[in-house]
Amino acid sequence: MTSKNLGRATLAALPFVLALLAELAVHMTVKDRLPARLAVHFEAGGTADGYMGVGAHLLYTATSLLVLGALWAFIGVNGKLYGRSHRWFIGGGFAVAAFLGYLLTAVLFVNVDAPEGGPVDGFPLRHIVVALGAAVLAGALGLAASRLVPAPEDPRDRDPASRDRIVLADGEVAGWARGIGAWWVPVAVLVLLAAGVTVGLAQNWFIGGPLLLLGLVAGTFCRPHVTVDRRGLTVSGLLPRPRVRVPLERMAGADSRAVNALAEYGGWGYRIRPERSGVITRSGEAIVVSLTSGREFAVTVDDSATGAALLNTLLDRQRTGR
Amino acid sequence: MLFRVDPTSTVPLGDQIAASVRRAVAEGAVAPGERLPAARVLAESLGVNVHTVLRGYQRLREEGLIELRRGRGAAITAGASPQRARLLEHVREAVADARDLGMTEDELLALVRGELNA
């Protein structure tokens, strides 16, 4: 790891480490005044309805903050975040760490000297407001701190002429289509549907219903396919709708390159991140479209070079008005 | 898979769609088992009639390059090798040349038979 990368990783993970240290310090201070069972979950009114042992809560807190910190450090180094998006990413990390850190510490405070069965006045809602405020403040601090490390330079070649084309005759119509099925999509759909039904039956349909609906919508995307044609780039499922379409008018150019699902998109599925979005079913080659707005849209698909070349050809055609 | 059709050409659009798939197989751009886009999707994409696409797919099925399964769409057959696709292209060219020369079906078949027995 170069020293620049080390700096980036440290800065990305720093807020989570600080939040953990603050939590530990508070924990040591009030340890003797905590009940054996902490009230850790509260209903909308603020009354406690979930409990956890003191040790378990500490373990849970440490694990969540450390995992998030590691994820932020990993993405900070490998996420191909350039310039402004890198700064927003660092700021976002500070905001998330402050929000979580504040709430996790507030849970300790409300439990101080609390009787068995939870604190008398529950979890005051003002804590959530304060947590949001802390997130905004820390986010601003993070944005400022991000200037301490040099933001990575954008190495991408922006010259549209250097991109590959497909030779088309005048009047020839071309389209490109390819399936992007992944084994985990049907599994995820089944999990969503099962969760929807279980929650609906066991708790209430206000949460179960939307889960079920989400599962059904995702179900139409079990075997999605990508199309490139005169209308632009489309990812669609079994039915004509819902679909994701980027029209040619919004594109500046298209490239074929390898993307990393976790580092660049923070996971799999339909991802929306600062400066980029995409349909990501795996790491590997993808059509990456540069939009006129400066953002990027990516679809992971095999033979992406052909799809990207056709997009550039169609863009040329549109510009010259043929 | 790249599909290209030229509406100004004298070649029927369905045949042009079939030729796109044949070319993709011949170039090794698609492997056996790969699915073709649904006829409706491809028709919308190219701005042609669904029946035109289906005619092209039917033609590929007769040539043994794809199989059509109800409810599962079209997929490249296990036996569709680049060599086979290229052979099909040669056969089509030979037939077109024979037609240009004004040969009858029997005359062409006699030529092929003669070559097979040689």
| Residue B2 counted as domain residue | no
Q: Rounded distance, CA B109 to CA B50, Å?
A: 34
Contact list, A179 vs chain B (CB under 8 Å) = 34-35
CA A272 → CA A188, A227, A280, distances in Å?
19, 20, 10
Q: What is the DSSP letter of A16?
A: H
**Backbone angle region of A269, left / alpha / beta, with phi > 0 → left and psi within -120 to 50 → alpha:** left
| Residue B76 counted as domain residue | yes
Contact of A176 with chain B, judged by CB distance below 8 Å, is answered with yes
pLDDT for B72 = 76
pLDDT for A158 = 62
| Residue B38 counted as domain residue | yes
Secondary structure class of B1 (helix, strand, coil):
coil
CATH number at residue B28: 1.10.10.10
Q: For residue A173, give the nearest of B36, B37, B47 by CB distance.
A: B47
pLDDT for A156 = 67
Secondary structure class of A177 (helix, strand, coil):
strand
Ordered domains of chain A (ranges, CATH): 3-148 (no CATH), 160-181+223-320 (2.30.29)
| Residue B6 counted as domain residue | no
The complex's ipTM works out to 0.85
Q: For residue A306, give the nearest of B2, B7, B8 by CB distance.
A: B2
Decide: A155 and A95 in contact? Cβ < 8 Å.
Answer: no
Per-residue DSSP letters for B27-48?
TTSS-TTPBPPPHHHHHHHHT-
Secondary structure class of A261 (helix, strand, coil):
helix
| Residue B4 counted as domain residue | no
Contact of A166 with chain B, judged by CB distance below 8 Å, is answered with yes
Is the pTM above the cut of 0.90? Answer: no
Per-residue DSSP letters for A31-61?
GGGS-SEEEEEE-TTS-EEEEEEHHHHHHHH
For residue B17, give the nearest of B34, B27, B2, B38 by alpha carbon.
Answer: B2
| Residue B3 counted as domain residue | no
Contact of A172 with chain B, judged by CB distance below 8 Å, is answered with yes
Secondary structure class of B3 (helix, strand, coil):
strand
Best of A166, A176, A234, A317 to disrupt the B interface by mutation (most B CBs within 10 Å)? Answer: A176
> CA B64, B69, B72, B73 torsion: positive or negative?
positive
Residue of chain B nearest A225, judged by CA positions:
B37
Minimal C-alpha gap between A177 and chain B (Å): 5
For residue A35, give the nearest of A20, A22, A52, A47 by alpha carbon.
Answer: A52
Decide: A204 and A251 in contact? Cβ < 8 Å.
Answer: no
Q: For residue B37, give the nearest of A225, A230, A306 by CB distance.
A: A225
For chain B, the residues whose C-beta falls within 8 A of a C-beta of chain A are: 1-8, 29, 34-37, 41-42, 45-47
Residue of chain B nearest A229, judged by CA positions:
B45
Phi and psi at residue A177, in whole multiples of 5°?
-140, 145
**Helices B50-62 & B39-46 angle (0-180, nearest 10):** 120
Minimal C-alpha gap between B46 and chain A (Å): 6
pLDDT for A45 = 73
Q: For residue A174, give the nearest of B2, B8, B29 by CB distance.
A: B2
Contact list, B47 vs chain A (CB under 8 Å) = 173, 230
Using DSSP bridges, classify how beta strands A296-300 and A276-280 pair: parallel, antiparallel or unpaired. parallel
- Name the token pair of A14: 């720093």
Q: For residue B41, give the nearest of A171, A172, A227 by CB distance.
A: A227
Tell me whether residue A295 is exposed, middle or buried, using C-beta atoms within 10 angstroms of its C-beta: 0 to 12, 13 to 18, 19 or more.
middle
Q: Do B2 and A176 touch (CB under 8 A)?
A: yes
pLDDT for B31 = 87
pLDDT for A79 = 83
Best of B2, B23, B36, B46 to disrupt the A interface by mutation (most A CBs within 10 Å)? Answer: B2
pLDDT for A3 = 78
Contact list, A172 vs chain B (CB under 8 Å) = 4-6
For residue A193, give the nearest of A230, A164, A222 by alpha carbon.
Answer: A222
Q: What is the mean pLDDT of each run of 10 residues along chain B (118 residues)?
A: 93 94 90 89 94 95 91 87 89 91 93 92
Question: For chain B, what is the domain count?
Answer: 1
Contact list, B6 vs chain A (CB under 8 Å) = 169, 171-173
Q: Do A179 and B42 touch (CB under 8 A)?
A: no
Who's near A225: CB < 8 A, 6+ residues apart?
A177, A178, A179, A180, A235, A236, B37, B41
| Residue B29 counted as domain residue | yes
Q: Do B8 and A177 touch (CB under 8 A)?
A: no
Name residue A162's amino acid: S
Minimal C-alpha gap between A280 and chain B (Å): 20
| Residue B43 counted as domain residue | yes
- One digit per residue, the tens of pLDDT, for chain A of length 322 reads 577 788 888 999 999 999 999 999 999 998 888 888 888 888 777 778 888 888 888 999 999 999 999 999 998 888 888 878 888 889 999 999 999 999 999 888 888 888 876 777 778 888 889 999 999 999 999 999 888 887 777 766 666 677 889 999 888 999 999 988 788 889 999 999 999 999 989 888 888 898 999 999 888 888 899 999 999 999 998 888 889 999 999 999 999 999 999 999 989 999 998 789 999 999 999 999 999 998 999 999 999 999 999 999 999 999 887 6
Query: Domain containing B59: what range?
Result: 13-117
Q: Rounded distance, CA B22 to CA B15, Å?
A: 10
Name residue A273's amino acid: R
Q: In chain A, what is the greatest distance between 2 CA atoms, to the nearest angstrom?
A: 82
Best of B11, B20, B41, B49 to disrupt the A interface by mutation (most A CBs within 10 Å)? Answer: B41
For residue A216, give the nearest of A230, A195, A234 by alpha carbon.
Answer: A195
